[in-house]
Structure 1
Amino acid sequence: MMTLLNKKFKMKTINWKICLNTDSKSVFNLLTTSEGRKSFWAEDAKDNGNIIHFVFPNGETYDSKILKVSPNKEFHIDYFDSLVKFKIESTKNDSCDLFLINKGVNESDYNEVHSGWVSVLMNLKAVVDFGCDLRNHDVKKTWDQGYVNN
C-alpha cells in the first residue's frame, strides 16, 4: 500500500494569454508593484524586496517569492507552491499581449486554478484598459462561496 508521502501527484501547466490595449510598461507596473497588484489581484500584496505577502478576500494569505524580474518583459513568482510566469510582448499602437504560464499545478487543483486565472486576468484587463475593478471586495462573497467577482 502506498503512503501519502510516497504518492506522486501529477502536475499540470496552465497557459493563458490576453490582449491588452495598454503599453507593456503599464502592465508590468501592475504586476510588480504593491498598488498595482492590489488594484486587480488581491486585497493586499505588499512586498519587502523579494517576497510578496498576498492577502485575499477570504482571509487566505500567501508569501510568494519573486523569482525573476525583467523590466517590461517578464515577472516570475512562486505562487501556492507552483511557478507563475508572466511574459509581456508589445504589439501595435502601444498595446501588448500578456502570457501567463502556471507550472506545477497539482492535478486535483487544476480546474479551480485554471478558472481562477481567468478571473484574475479579466480583472487586470478591466483595470488597465478601462479603469474599473470588477471585484466585489465582500468577505462573504468570495471564490469559496462561488462568486467569480471576489
Structure 2
Amino acid sequence: MSTITWKIYLKSDPKTVFDLLTTAEGRAKFWAEKAEEIDGQIHFEFPNSQTYQSRILKTISNQEFHLDYFDSLVKFTLVPSENGGTDLTLTNENVAESEFAEVNAGWVSVLMNLKAVADFQCDLRNHDPNRTWGQGYVDN
C-alpha cells in the first residue's frame, strides 16, 4: 500500500474551498456528477456510471475533511495563506500498488478542476458518459 500527497494553492479562502469539498452542491461542481450526503455517507455518482458510498470520517470546519474513498483514506487539509487564499494538501493513504499510477493522476485531475471552480468558476469536465477517464479522457 502507498500514500499519495499533492498540494495546491487556491486564491479562494478556506471557507469557500471547504464548502466545495463538504457540500453536495460543491462536490457536483468539480468532482462527481452527484455526491449527496445521507447519514454521514457521501453517495458519489460518476460520469462512467460508477458509484461509491464514502463514509465521512472527520470534519473540522474550514480546516480538515477526511473520508473513506474506494477503500482508502483521503484527507483534505486546508491552511489559510498570508494573502487570503488556501494551501490545500490532499493525502490519500492505503492506495493499492496496482492502482497507484491511475489514482495519483486522477487526483491531479480532481484538484485542478477544484482550482478552476474555486478560483475561476469554471468546470473543466465534459460530463459525457462516452468520454470518461476509462476511455482516456482527462476532462471526465
SS at match of 1:94: coil
Looking at structure 2, the residues matched to 84 and 144 of structure 1 have their Cα atoms a distance apart, in angstroms, of 21
- 1:88 equivalent in alignment to 2:78: yes
TM-score between the two structures when normalised by the length of structure 2: 0.99
1:108 aligns with 2:98: yes
Q: Which residue of 1 aligns with 2:14?
A: 24
Post-superposition Cα deviations, 1:79-130, rounded to whole Å, max 9, x if no partner, equal 0000000000000221010000000000000000000000000000000000
> Which residue is equivalent to 1:3?
none
Percent identical pairs in the alignment equals 61
How many residue pairs were aligned? 140
Q: Secondary structure at the match of 1:104?
A: strand
Equivalent position amino acid for 1:39 in 2: K
Which among 124, 128, 135 is matched to residue 138 of structure 1? 128
Instruction: For 1:71, give the aligned amino acid.
Output: S
Distance in 1 between the 2:39 and 2:79 partners? Answer: 25
Aligned-residue RMSD, C-alpha: 0.5
TM-score, normalised relative to structure 1: 0.93
The yes-or-no answer on 1:119 pairing with 2:104 is: no
Q: Distance in 1 between matches of 2:12 and 2:39?
A: 26
Alignment partner of 1:44 out of 26, 34, 38:
34
List runs of 5+ in structure 1 lacking aligned partners. 1-10
Equivalent position of 2:88 in the other structure: 98
Q: Does 1:13 align with 2:3?
A: yes
- Code of the residue aligned with 2:2 in structure 1: it is K
Q: Runs of at least 4 residues of structure 1 off by over 2 A? A: none
